[in-house]
Amino acid sequence: MSQFLKDKAAIAGIGLTEFSKKSGVSELSLAAQATLAACEEAGLPPSEIDGFVSYTLDSTDEIELARTVGAGDLKLFTKVNYGGGAAVGTILHAVMAVATGVADNVICYRAMNGRSGQRMGQGISGQIVSSDLVHWSWYMPYGMLTPGSWIAMIANKYMHHYGVTAEDLGRVAISQRNYAQSNPRSFFHGKPLTMEDYLASKMIADPLRLYDFCQETDGGCAILVTSAERARDLQQKPAIIRGVVQASTRGQEQMTSYYREELDSLPEMEMAARLVYAQSGLGPDDINAACLYDAFTSEVIMQLESFGFCGRGEGKDMVRDGALDIDGRLPNNTHGGLLSEAYIHGMNSIAEGARLVRGTSTSQPKGVEHVLVSSGVGVPTGALILGRD
Amino acid sequence: MAQSFRMKPPMGEDNGWWWQQAAEGNLAIQRCKACSTLRHPPRPMCGDCQSLEWDHVVSSGRGTLDSFTVLHHPQFPGFDYPLIIILVKLEEGTRFTSQLINCSVEAVEFGMPVEMIMHEDPDGFRLPMFQPAQGAHA
């Protein structure tokens, strides 16, 4: 694994819109507001942005956003595939461009009316024949139409194999809900969750209950990536990118990797861990906090194992020990995560990663040197390690 | 029950033949002609030996339950809830995602033996489902 990208680039600005259930504005407007906020925070005019990277699922095209915010000539415009698996992948593409001199200042963005517009849980459909639609068609006719239904199959196997309980999933939900209490941006701010509430919440896709699921949110988030050198001259403390990788493994499917040898691990996340540790020269012991992708609670527990914070089957023990809490071994999703802050497809978790490095999280653990952020689970994914300058 | 609630698969070169087999009552498994490796879901090339030549075998329809989920929400028109979705390890070695019928939610278990039963919708569309194995196999 080449270390070429290590320390070459940094997150110099983060920009968010308000998070809501009904934004009342277009997704383009959300993207533009978030981009402007990231530029203003960094102290860089939008005219200096020369690259845009987003998700294939994002409805806002790069040049529409460029025109809207008044960006200049673009040298990089691209979108990354596979839903939330794109999250840190967008950062990788930006870092590759910045490190090679292809572009100087790149905005990675995700803006969605995820509640008032197209909702993830509505299911998928299509008339044309493509390899992607053929893939979904092995599940659609049986009524497997939602992310919860696809993930539950793996979660159930994993929990059965390792004795993970409903209470363990509940501990993840509650830990992140506790963080939400100090984050005014969070949808669940002022609404704590008890284990009784969690267990009483309705079963959606057994073993996953309502509070095992992330939010549906209207909002936008933009991340400004520039060279480490340039970032030091801008207004915010840079979050240096120590390592950033994408990972997809043999036999990978999107959400339904049911045909690989093992059903109770995350091979693509283990690969992302291997690569990002090799690139950064760091290991699990060097990571002080994390934003592990949390579309579902079960994914957080599985990733503790993928990233080597514990052995196989021991994720539940870490959770029971309070490892994810503010004073635990690995404070995780200190903004509340996709479960409790907002679901901006993982982009808001990259923003929190930058805050943790700056020391400005609303739940800031002590002594954070390195933060791990991961992309979507059960899809081609990626991992990012941010470090203090 | 509505006539056409079920989302039909798009029928392309790589998968249409499989649904034709289902229409004829068979649970097919694609087989590489060069190295005989079975693969599912079907793909146009063998990932092991890169051969483009393939045929298929017809599965016995017998297998065991590798994993499952019971879907409660959201409820889509036409489906009966709670809906038991299963991942079957077929006798032949490949896995298949399907629905378990003729079985209560309480009776579903990891590793339980199941057998294929071809389901037919009112509009004639057929797709393989499974039920708890009957008789000797159980």
Region of B133 (left: φ > 0; alpha: ψ -120 to 50; beta: rest) is beta
Taking CB atoms and an 8 Å cut-off, how many pairs form between chains A and B? Answer: 107
Q: Known catalytic residue: A343?
A: yes
Q: Which residue of A has its CA nearest to B71?
A: A205
Query: What integer pLDDT is reported at residue B3 of this predicted model?
Result: 52
Specify the amino acid at residue A389. Answer: D
- CATH for B60-138? 2.40.50.840
Q: Known catalytic residue: A293?
A: yes
Contact B114, B108 (CB under 8 A): no
Query: What integer pLDDT is reported at residue A131 of this predicted model?
Result: 84
* Mean pLDDT across B63-88: 96
Task: Provide the shortest C-alpha distance from residue B110 to chain A (in Å).
Answer: 8
Query: What integer pLDDT is reported at residue A163 of this predicted model?
Result: 98
Contact A297, A339 (CB under 8 A): yes
Contacts of residue A128 in chain B, CB cutoff 8 Å? 10
Query: What integer pLDDT is reported at residue A119 of this predicted model?
Result: 79
Are residues A138 and B12, on separate chains, in Cβ contact within 8 Å? no
Which of B130, B84, B87 is closest to A205 using CA atoms?
Answer: B84
Which of B94, B112, B101 is closest to B37 using CA atoms?
Answer: B94
- Among B7, B70, B72, beta carbon nearest to A141: B7
- Among B12, B72, B76, beta carbon nearest to A204: B72
Question: What is the fold of A9-118+214-388?
Answer: Peroxisomal Thiolase; Chain A, domain 1 (3.40.47)
- Among B7, B15, B41, beta carbon nearest to A140: B7
Contact A298, A155 (CB under 8 A): yes
B7 pLDDT band (50/70/90 cuts)?
A: confident
Task: Give the 3-state secondary structure of residue A263.
Answer: coil
The ranges of chain A with pLDDT < 50 are: 126
Query: What integer pLDDT is reported at residue B2 of this predicted model?
Result: 44
Domain map of chain B by residue range?
Answer: 13-58, 60-138
Query: What integer pLDDT is reported at residue A303 of this predicted model?
Result: 98
Q: Where are the alpha helices (DSSP H) in chain B?
A: 16-23
B138 pLDDT band (50/70/90 cuts)?
A: very low
Write the pLDDT tens digit of every residue in A36-65. Answer: 999 999 999 999 999 999 999 999 999 999
Model pTM?
A: 0.94
Q: Measured between alpha carbons, how far is A310 from A83 in angstroms, rounded to an integer?
A: 27
Task: Provide the shortest C-alpha distance from residue B135 to chain A (in Å).
Answer: 26
Task: Provide the shortest C-alpha distance from residue A40 to chain B (in Å).
Answer: 41
Are residues A141 and B98, on separate chains, in Cβ contact within 8 Å? no
